[in-house]
Amino acid sequence: MEQRVKELNRKYKEIFSDGNKVRNFQAPGRVNLIGEHTDYNGGFVMPMAINRNVLSAAAPRGDNEVHIHSVNFDKTIQFKLNNIEYRKEDGWGNYIKGMAKVLMDKGYKICGMNILFEGDIPLASGLSSSAAIEVLSGKTFAMISGVEIPAEELALLAQKAENEFIGVNCGIMDQYIISTGKKNNALFLDCRDLSSEQVPFIFDDVYVVIGNTKKERGLVDSEYNSRRKECEHGVKEFNKILGGVKDLRDVTSRQFEESKDKLPEITRKRCQHVIYEDERVKKAVKYLKSKDLESFGNLMVESHESLRDLYEVSCRELDILVEEALKMDGVFGSRMTGAGFGGCNVSLVLKDHVEKFIVLITEAYKKKTSRKPEFYICTPEDGAKEIVL
């Protein structure tokens, strides 16, 4: 990390040559251990922030302009704080413009600045590099401008930027964990009232291993929107049957079993996933607290099967990564993570077995799909923060 920050600061001087002393910030990617497609249903999730992140180097300019450069895109973009508009050709720059806008709309006074970004979160792979760059730019704007924004509020503002400025109808999970994560903990989050609990995730002999299918997530946007609609339909149906249902989170598995025959098939399957997934997250918290990774891993497998068969958001590549993982020694559990249709899976693997795990799955996956997967060995890390070398 230290080396990366030094290199970033060297590049800052080269690109902006303003002679200013910079400050550095970071925001991590995230992986969701369990609780998939529950966030926008007012339910429960258990993500953790990971040891892959986006870094920034920034200093004030003395005017009302923001100049941003991303090492990953090798491009500089400029905008004035009193004239922020979405422009398609600005691509990644829109995330940063969106953050500046929501901060100012909320009444925060932001000053002009130069910011350099560099990240090692794989882009568009489901580890939420977009939420990382949103939260990071929010943190950078606030700190350089000398304003304090609580982590929970920063998460909500980042979600607002993604919803309203970028136009992606995401839930709160990604921005929340990226903003509030704590080293050595997973986060148990209630996505309805945003109450949360840090749950220690400290296992000397276990890694969280993320496998990237390297498959483009082509269908994800349209399918995501149709799943949201199907869940809304489920809420309407359950309201007729039970009354008082605001989100699928309000229906227990018992109530579901008693009334499922009244639902059309697709609605029934979607609801079954969400309702049982919420219950799995609550069980997962209990197992994590009692350090019972066997049982935790079994829940991960159930979650995957439910996402594959009931919610129908997996794909062949994800199923192969999970199937192969479950054949390996030293694996507690494995499941797809993120929205689906590509992206990543997540497995809990004994450290001693990780090397073999990666080699064997890479072989098998390549044979079956003609794609080369990537693996990231992950640890639970802090959310967005300043880095002082």
Q: Which residues are catalytic?
A: 174
One-letter identity of residue 295: S
Of the candidates 20, 35, 79, the residue with the CA atom closest to the CA atom of residue 276: 35
Strand ranges across the sheet with 344-350: 331-337, 344-350, 206-212, 374-378
- If one asks whether residue 32 binds ligand ADP (CB under 6 A), the answer comes out as no
- If one asks whether residue 94 binds Mg ion (CB under 5 A), the answer comes out as no
Q: Which span sits near ligand ADP by CB under 6 A: 57-65, 97-105, 119-127, 268-276? A: 119-127
Separation CA 321–CA 346 (nearest Å): 9
Minimal distance, residue 32 CB to ligand ADP, in Å: 12
Residue 1 or 123 having the CB closest to ligand ADP: 123
- If one asks whether residue 54 binds ligand ADP (CB under 6 A), the answer comes out as yes
Minimal distance, residue 225 CB to Mg ion, in Å: 15
Buried b (16+ CB within 10 A) or exposed e, 277-314: bbebbeebbebbeeeebeebbbbbbbbbebbbebbbbb
Could you say which of 9, 56, 129, 345 contacts ligand ADP (CB under 6 A)? 129
Name the CA radius of gyration of the chain, rounded. 21
Minimal distance, residue 128 CB to Mg ion, in Å: 5
Bridge partners (DSSP) listed for residue 66: 79, 113
Separation CA 4–CA 197 (nearest Å): 32
- If one asks whether residue 128 binds ligand ADP (CB under 6 A), the answer comes out as yes
Kindly give the pairing relationship between strand 196-200 and strand 331-337.
unpaired
Q: Which of residues 59-98 bind ligand ADP (CB under 6 A)?
A: 70, 72-73, 91-92, 95
Could you say which of 24, 38, 56, 130 contacts Mg ion (CB under 5 A)? 130
Residue 92 or 276 having the CB closest to ligand ADP: 92
| Contacted entry of ligand ADP, Mg ion, none for residue 44, CB cut-off 5 to 8 Å set by kind | none
Minimal distance, residue 270 CB to ligand ADP, in Å: 22
Separation CA 287–CA 298 (nearest Å): 11
- If one asks whether residue 216 binds ligand ADP (CB under 6 A), the answer comes out as no
* Residues contacting 106, CB < 8 A, separation 6+: 157
Minimal distance, residue 136 CB to ligand ADP, in Å: 9
Q: Which span sits near Mg ion by CB under 5 A: 122-130, 140-148, 181-189, 228-236? A: 122-130
Residue 176 or 256 having the CB closest to ligand ADP: 176
Q: What are phi and psi of 117, to 5 degrees?
A: -115, 145
Q: How many helices (H) and strands (E) does the chain have?
A: 11, 12
Residue 24 or 267 having the CB closest to ligand ADP: 24
Q: Which span sits near Mg ion by CB under 5 A: 123-131, 195-203, 248-256, 355-363? A: 123-131
Q: Which span sits near ligand ADP by CB under 6 A: 4-12, 41-49, 115-123, 314-322? A: 115-123
Alpha-carbon dihedral angle through residues 380, 383, 387, 389, given to the nearest 10 degrees = -10
Site size toward ligand ADP (CB under 6 A) is 18
Residue 59 or 127 having the CB closest to ligand ADP: 127
Of the candidates 308, 321, 313, 309, the residue with the CA atom closest to the CA atom of residue 357: 321
- If one asks whether residue 117 binds ligand ADP (CB under 6 A), the answer comes out as yes
- If one asks whether residue 167 binds ligand ADP (CB under 6 A), the answer comes out as no
Could you say which of 41, 125, 272, 337 contacts ligand ADP (CB under 6 A)? 125
Distance from chain centroid for Cα 81:
28
* Residues contacting 85, CB < 8 A, separation 6+: 97
Contact set with Mg ion (CB under 5 A): 130
Contact set with ligand ADP (CB under 6 A): 54, 70, 72-73, 91-92, 95, 117, 119, 123-130, 133
